[in-house]
Amino acid sequence: MDRIRLTGGYELNGTIPISGAKNAALPLMIASLLTDEPLVLTNLPRLTDIATLARLLAELGVEIDVMNSSGEWETLTSRTEGRLSLGADQAKRLAGFGPDTKYRPGGRTLRLTAKKIESTHADYELVSRMRASFWVLGPLLGRCGEADVSLPGGCAIGTRPVDLHLQGLEKLGANIELDKGYVIASTKGGLKGAEIRFSMPSVGATHNVLMAAVLAKGETVIENAAREPEITNLAECLVAMGAKIDGIGTSTLRITGVDKLHGAEVAVICDRIEAGTYAMAAGMTGGDVTLTGADPALFEAALQALSAAGVTVDHTDKGIRITRSGTPLTPVDIVTQPYPAFPTDLQAQFMALMTMADGNAQMTETIFENRFMHVQELARLGALVSLHGDRAIVSGVKALRGAPVMATDLRASVSLVIAGLAAEGETTISRVYHLDRGFERLEDKLSACGADISRLPG
């Protein structure tokens, strides 16, 4: 397996282009199952999660084309023995690790066409790799009236149950059975609109039920829906495809079902988590970094926490400028909560920043029960963190020291990069396949700003 090697102590200075959001791109790709016409998505990031989902969609019958540098479409899927598939080489290309491995800023453009759903079976082998694959359940039910989708299983950062997904789909009239780790879902006469109230604002359940409801008969009302920008991106995509949705961006979504959706062209929003991560990296090392394409409105709570910590945040016509020149970091307490509060996906990165603050900071995690696994790895770098249930107390130290560490999940892995950028000496991070799931060519973006960082092939 590949590793990341870095030597700390260098300021970051320069420009980092922010990629399209993984958490927006995945449900947008899945929305292609809802129509037999092409859905064109621009600004897609080059990530292994994108490739994993593309493989699953191909098995369900989605033809996938990519626009090349000449503006021409190239087909990625192929048909063997009557089955559509995405080969290993094409998957690597989508993930940004194909034959041409040179990093080029700017997202990809994909065309996804599900003329005919060839299979409603989503196999465990692919769904187990990425929980968002489970979101194909709603669109398959809405378009085909049936679906056979593997349960996603556990997760390193918590159980993340799918009960809200299933309860919402049952409200829409789906008959659901669990058999040998699979959700077997069907409808008689199609889905029908209903009033659904989530007990908590689940991002995944909102995605799944929303995509099912757009083809249901009558009106569906989703109360206590998640409000993340990625859900707004999906809802606006569905409207562009002909869906009728009111309340976009609020906790109450009203959907009037339509008989058919058509194709559309939609841009993936910028990745607020990637932008927040690089902002914290610049705050950690000091220097002057402009995050081009970043939209500050998408992660205001995180930027406010950065400002409170003594990092200067300026909005520009290109994005966001992050600067810090020698001033000590001020400890800041945070509580992770659903959007628009401080996001759980930035908690590990902010904890890394606080390891060198002048005093104690408290991190309270309310979303996932196991999202402190990075603590013991940060301790290997000299961080002082004590755990108290859902709270972590970070006592700032004068210096961190490089060491071999291991990534445990996507966001935890990048917190180790942030700490390593400021640590004295060399840090090596193993299991960086976690990074490749959600950060497009991180080592290239950081090295372009002066970081001493490189990938060591496994």
> 414: part of which helix (H) or strand (E)?
helix 410-422
Do the beta carbons of residue 136 and residue 27 sit within 8 Å?
A: no
Catalytic-role residue among 144, 155, 237, 270 = 155
What would the 3-class secondary structure string for 271-330 be?
CHHHHHHHHHHHHHHCEEEEEECCCHHHCHHHHHHHHHCCCEEEECCCEEEEEECCCCCC
CA 99 from chain centre, in angstroms, equals: 25
Does 317 show up as a binding residue in the annotation?
no
C-alpha separations of 16 from 3, 274, 288, 439 in Å: 22, 10, 11, 12
- Joined together, the tokens standing for residue 456 give 């060591």
User: Does 131 belong to an annotated binding site?
Assistant: yes
Determine if residue 115 is labeled as part of a ligand binding site.
no
The answer to whether 340 touches 300, Cβ cutoff 8 Å, is yes
Q: Are 273 and 294 in contact (CB under 8 A)?
A: no
* Residue 367 marked ligand-binding: yes
Q: Is 192 labelled a binding residue? A: no
Report the DSSP beta bridge partners of residue 217.
Answer: 192
The amino acid at residue 216 is A
> Can you point out the beta strands (E) in 381-425?
384-388, 391-395, 404-406
**Residue 221 is assigned to a ligand binding site:** no
Tell me the DSSP string of 214-256.
Answer: TTSBSEEEEET----HHHHHHHHHHHHTT-EEE-TTSSEEEEE
Q: Respond yes or no: is residue 155 known to be catalytic.
A: yes
CB 54 within 8 A of CB 91: yes
**Strand 121-122 vs strand 146-150: parallel, antiparallel, or unpaired?**
parallel
Structure tokens at 213: 């409801």
Was 162 annotated as part of a binding site? yes
Q: Is 160 annotated as a binding residue?
A: yes
* Residue 174 · residue 143 · CB < 8 Å: no
The residue among 380, 445, 443 whose CA lies nearest residue 408 is 380
Q: Look at the alpha carbons of 39, 233, 186, 258 in this order and tell me if their dihedral is positive or negative.
A: negative
Give me the half-sphere count of Cα atoms (radius 13 Å) on the Cβ side of residue 187: 26
Binding-site residue numbers for UDP-N-acetyl-alpha-D-glucosamine are 131, 160-164, 345, 367
- Please give the positions annotated as active site: 155
Binding-site residue numbers are 22-23, 131, 160-164, 345, 367
